[in-house]
Amino acid sequence: MKRVMNMLNILLVYTSMAGNTEEMADTIADTLKKHKDINLTFMDIIDEEPENLSQYDGILIGSYT
Protein backbone atom coordinates (compact mmCIF):
# COMPACT_ATOMS: atom_id res chain seq x y z
CA MET A 1 0.00 0.00 0.00
CA LYS A 2 1.33 3.39 -0.97
CA ARG A 3 1.44 5.84 1.96
CA VAL A 4 -0.60 8.99 1.38
CA MET A 5 0.64 12.07 3.24
CA ASN A 6 -1.62 13.39 6.02
CA MET A 7 -3.99 10.45 5.69
CA LEU A 8 -4.61 7.67 8.14
CA ASN A 9 -4.45 4.18 6.68
CA ILE A 10 -7.21 2.25 8.42
CA LEU A 11 -8.01 -1.43 8.00
CA LEU A 12 -11.54 -2.59 8.77
CA VAL A 13 -11.79 -6.38 8.74
CA TYR A 14 -14.71 -8.53 9.77
CA THR A 15 -16.02 -12.06 9.77
CA SER A 16 -19.70 -12.86 9.77
CA MET A 17 -21.83 -16.00 9.95
CA ALA A 18 -25.38 -14.69 9.65
CA GLY A 19 -24.58 -11.36 8.00
CA ASN A 20 -25.18 -9.13 11.05
CA THR A 21 -21.50 -8.34 11.62
CA GLU A 22 -21.02 -7.68 7.91
CA GLU A 23 -23.95 -5.24 7.98
CA MET A 24 -22.44 -3.39 10.94
CA ALA A 25 -19.03 -3.35 9.25
CA ASP A 26 -20.64 -1.89 6.10
CA THR A 27 -22.20 0.88 8.19
CA ILE A 28 -18.88 1.69 9.87
CA ALA A 29 -17.10 1.65 6.49
CA ASP A 30 -19.67 4.02 4.99
CA THR A 31 -19.09 6.46 7.86
CA LEU A 32 -15.29 6.27 7.61
CA LYS A 33 -15.37 6.79 3.83
CA LYS A 34 -16.92 10.22 4.41
CA HIS A 35 -13.72 11.45 6.07
CA LYS A 36 -11.27 12.86 3.56
CA ASP A 37 -8.27 12.18 5.82
CA ILE A 38 -8.89 8.42 6.05
CA ASN A 39 -7.67 5.89 3.52
CA LEU A 40 -9.86 2.86 4.28
CA THR A 41 -9.24 -0.75 3.39
CA PHE A 42 -12.34 -2.86 4.04
CA MET A 43 -12.44 -6.65 3.70
CA ASP A 44 -13.35 -10.03 5.12
CA ILE A 45 -10.65 -11.05 7.59
CA ILE A 46 -10.00 -14.22 5.58
CA ASP A 47 -8.62 -12.07 2.74
CA GLU A 48 -5.90 -10.24 4.75
CA GLU A 49 -2.43 -11.60 5.43
CA PRO A 50 -0.92 -11.00 8.90
CA GLU A 51 2.35 -9.71 7.45
CA ASN A 52 0.46 -6.80 5.85
CA LEU A 53 -0.95 -5.44 9.12
CA SER A 54 2.03 -3.21 9.92
CA GLN A 55 1.18 -0.87 7.02
CA TYR A 56 -1.93 0.41 8.80
CA ASP A 57 -2.20 3.20 11.36
CA GLY A 58 -5.29 1.61 12.89
CA ILE A 59 -7.12 -1.71 12.65
CA LEU A 60 -10.80 -2.28 13.41
CA ILE A 61 -11.93 -5.89 13.81
CA GLY A 62 -15.51 -7.16 13.83
CA SER A 63 -16.53 -10.70 14.67
CA TYR A 64 -19.60 -12.69 15.57
CA THR A 65 -20.03 -14.15 19.06
* AA letter at 7: M
DSSP 57: S
Residue 4 is predicted with a pLDDT of 56
Burial 7-26 (b: 16+ CB within 10 A, else e): eebbbbbbebeeeebbeebe
Does pTM surpass 0.75?
Answer: yes
pLDDT score of 50: 86
Q: What is the pLDDT of residues 5-52, one digit of tens each?
A: 689 999 999 999 999 999 999 999 999 999 999 999 999 988 888 888
CA dist 10 and 45 (Å) reads 14
